[in-house]
Amino acid sequence: MTSIHPDQVTAERLAGLSRGATPPPVLDPRTGDGTLIDTPGVRAPLVLNNRGFGEITDIVCGYVENKPPRWWLPAFLAAFGLAQLGGILILYLVITGIGTWGLTNQVDWAWDITNFVFWIGIGHAGTLISAILCLLKQKWRTAVNRAAEAMTIFAVICAATFPGIHIGRQWMAWFLPPIPNANAIWPNFKSPLLWDVFAVSTYGTVSALFWFMGMVPDFATLRDRADRRLRRSAEGPILLPFVPIRTDKIRAFVYGFLALGWRMSSRHWHRYEAAYLILAGISTPLVLSVHSIVSFDFATSILPGWHTTIFPPYFVAGAIFGGFAMVLLLLIPFRELYANMKDLITLRHIENMAKILLTTGMMVGFAYSMEFFIAWYGGNKFELYAFQNRAFGPYWWAYWTMISCNVISPQLFWSKKLRTNVVVVWIVALFVTIGMWFERFVIIVTSLHRAFLPGEYHMFHPTLVDIGIFAGSFGVFLTLYLLFMRFLPAFPIAEIKAVLPQASPHSHGDHGHDHSGHDHKH
């Protein structure tokens, strides 16, 4: 792997060399990188530096085709090692039993379901970006769309692990789907836990399909680039020393297979866009249903603190809140570490997402206070006790961590200066991620640890296995994410090109051909 890129011009461009001659444009300092324009009627550029179609292809394909940055392999190995730790502890759990978690008393759903709800919620931001923002015609979504969808799928994988291993006898997990078995036992369709099985598996499947469909044209781009290099020269980088298979040959085959023969046809694009719109349309109610159904696991029970009608909207808002925090947590460092990524993910993207954090954070804060209000106004003393106990009982520290991370820390984003400062945004996103984990912990553990019978009053203490499996889930997530950044198109190439100003067939300014005599209908 001597050559970084077979095309010298492209290599220079990727390294930012070929643009050295142009002086950087003089920008109004209030517009940050030039995208923070508040003037009505002036559209902020979605992609910086006037990138052309070919440059977009080069930048995004470069992340896949060039040698990965130096930090990539150590980061990958660390994440992979963490995932292995989780895997080993899961094996230990399966062999020994769920008593190896701190589930030795009545507080039964402690970390496992906390982690499940935490991860599944994170996924929701990806679907919000790919589906809801698509329906709302928010063009800025194109830059973060693919990365957020990838996050969705990896988060669902992490989430699905926890209910799978918390059932006690994990080898009986196949009883979850409705399939005939030797004992003629079928699942109970009246149970919200089964609704959850269907909601999460449908969500995972539909998200993966949507993600894959979005990547098909970009796989075609990667295929064609590899194919062109193969046709142009007989020599090229090989897979490994002494393994004389050209890397491009493998790329042409693998990406070619995944591209399904996509050939950029307008007739195909027409149906593709129809399918995309339909998927966006059905994913929107789907994503709202998934966390609503997750909240039914709690809301349909009779436990004080769980049995509230505010749960579905409150959970959905919290999911989007936590998910956007994770998107920012991932993309802000990647934006710094990868060449030219700042042209695609601009300060305005960061600012928009910070605004969403502020909005959804306030929704969550409203839900917290409304829960308290109804507990008092409803006149149910068990309910009121549950909430007083949450805020001032033995788990007061968890409750106030949640409040300060989720409600107070996003308030910084009222200031434009702070919400356009990537370091501040990253730190707040980190706080929100912590806060959202604590939110689920507070809901689950504080309600369970003071259930109806005083004999059930216990504190929950996580064991090393609890902690290790949770850490392992981060390892799985980061491993998959780093592999995604390395081998798959991290940005929707075709979609970004489509939102460039020169993509419109009606802008006559940017080509020098004379069309006089044509019948202009537009």
Instruction: Choose the stretch contacting another protein; rule: CB under 8 A; options: 209-217, 419-427, 463-471, 473-481.
Output: 209-217
Q: Is 105 in the site for another protein (CB under 8 A)?
A: no
Least spacing, CB of residue 8 vs another protein, in Å = 17
Residues 340 to 369 in contact with another protein, rule: CB under 8 A: none
Nearer Cβ to another protein (383/495): 495
Which one of 22, 39, 188, 516 is in contact with another protein (CB under 8 A)?
A: 188
Between CA 69 and CA 175 the distance in angstroms is 45
For tokens 């954070």, name the residue: 361
Which one of 121, 217, 410, 489 is in contact with another protein (CB under 8 A)?
A: 217
The overall longest dimension of the chain from CA atoms, in Å, is: 89
Q: Is 52 in the site for another protein (CB under 8 A)?
A: yes
Contact in structure between 284 and 132 (CB atoms under 8 Å) = yes
Q: Is 266 in the site for another protein (CB under 8 A)?
A: yes
Nearer Cβ to another protein (70/190): 190
Which one of 202, 247, 359, 463 is in contact with another protein (CB under 8 A)?
A: 202
Task: Count Cβ atoms within 10 A of the Cβ of residue 112 and give its class: 0-12 exposed, 13-18 middle, 19 or more buried.
Answer: buried
**Cα atoms in the 13 Å half-sphere on the side-chain side of 73:** 3
Residue 108 φ/ψ, nearest 5 degrees: -90, -25
Residue 129 φ/ψ, nearest 5 degrees: -70, -45
Nearer Cβ to another protein (37/216): 216
Between CA 169 and CA 184 the distance in angstroms is 19
Between CA 109 and CA 305 the distance in angstroms is 14
Between CA 487 and CA 66 the distance in angstroms is 10
Q: Is 50 in the site for another protein (CB under 8 A)?
A: no
For tokens 């159904």, name the residue: 293
Nearer Cβ to another protein (394/501): 501
Instruction: Choose the stretch contacting another protein; rule: CB under 8 A; options: 107-115, 124-132, 286-294, 313-321.
Output: 286-294
Between CA 233 and CA 8 the distance in angstroms is 14
Which one of 50, 233, 301, 504 is in contact with another protein (CB under 8 A)?
A: 504
Which one of 53, 80, 175, 400 is in contact with another protein (CB under 8 A)?
A: 53
Q: Is 506 in the site for another protein (CB under 8 A)?
A: yes
Least spacing, CB of residue 50 vs another protein, in Å = 14
Nearer Cβ to another protein (97/261): 261
Q: Is 498 in the site for another protein (CB under 8 A)?
A: yes
Q: Is 177 in the site for another protein (CB under 8 A)?
A: no
Q: Is 250 in the site for another protein (CB under 8 A)?
A: no
Long-range contacts of the stretch 412-421 (C-beta < 8 A, 24+): 413/354, 413/355, 413/357, 413/358, 414/358, 416/36, 416/351, 419/350, 419/351, 419/354, 419/355, 419/358, 420/32, 420/36, 420/347, 420/350, 420/351, 420/354
Nearer Cβ to another protein (198/400): 198
Nearer Cβ to another protein (82/294): 294
Residue 265 one-letter amino acid? S
* DSSP annotation string for 419-455: HT-HHHHHHHHHHHHHHHHHHHHIIIIIHHTT-SSGG
Nearer Cβ to another protein (182/423): 182
Between CA 8 and CA 5 the distance in angstroms is 7
Which one of 70, 137, 417, 518 is in contact with another protein (CB under 8 A)?
A: 518
Nearer Cβ to another protein (55/383): 55
Which one of 78, 213, 370, 434 is in contact with another protein (CB under 8 A)?
A: 213
Residues 132 to 171 in contact with another protein, rule: CB under 8 A: none
Task: Please give the structure tokens belonging to residue 393.
Answer: 């009982």
Task: Count Cβ atoms within 10 A of the Cβ of residue 268 and give its class: 0-12 exposed, 13-18 middle, 19 or more buried.
Answer: middle
Q: Is 502 in the site for another protein (CB under 8 A)?
A: yes
Nearer Cβ to another protein (231/461): 231
Which one of 289, 359, 388, 463 is in contact with another protein (CB under 8 A)?
A: 289
Q: Is 262 in the site for another protein (CB under 8 A)?
A: yes
Rg (CA), the chain: 25
Between CA 445 and CA 32 the distance in angstroms is 44
Which one of 97, 99, 178, 333 is in contact with another protein (CB under 8 A)?
A: 178
Least spacing, CB of residue 258 vs another protein, in Å = 10
Q: Is 452 in the site for another protein (CB under 8 A)?
A: no
Q: Is 43 in the site for another protein (CB under 8 A)?
A: no
Least spacing, CB of residue 350 vs another protein, in Å = 25
Instruction: Choose the stretch contacting another protein; rule: CB under 8 A; options: 112-120, 155-163, 193-201, 237-245.
Output: 193-201
Q: How big is the site for another protein, counted in residues (CB under 8 A)?
A: 82
Least spacing, CB of residue 230 vs another protein, in Å = 10
Least spacing, CB of residue 494 vs another protein, in Å = 4
SS3 at position 277: helix
Contact in structure between 150 and 481 (CB atoms under 8 Å) = yes
Q: Is 256 in the site for another protein (CB under 8 A)?
A: yes
250's CB contacts (< 8 A; 6+ apart) are: 239
Contact in structure between 470 and 93 (CB atoms under 8 Å) = no
Which one of 186, 377, 396, 414 is in contact with another protein (CB under 8 A)?
A: 186
Q: Is 286 in the site for another protein (CB under 8 A)?
A: yes
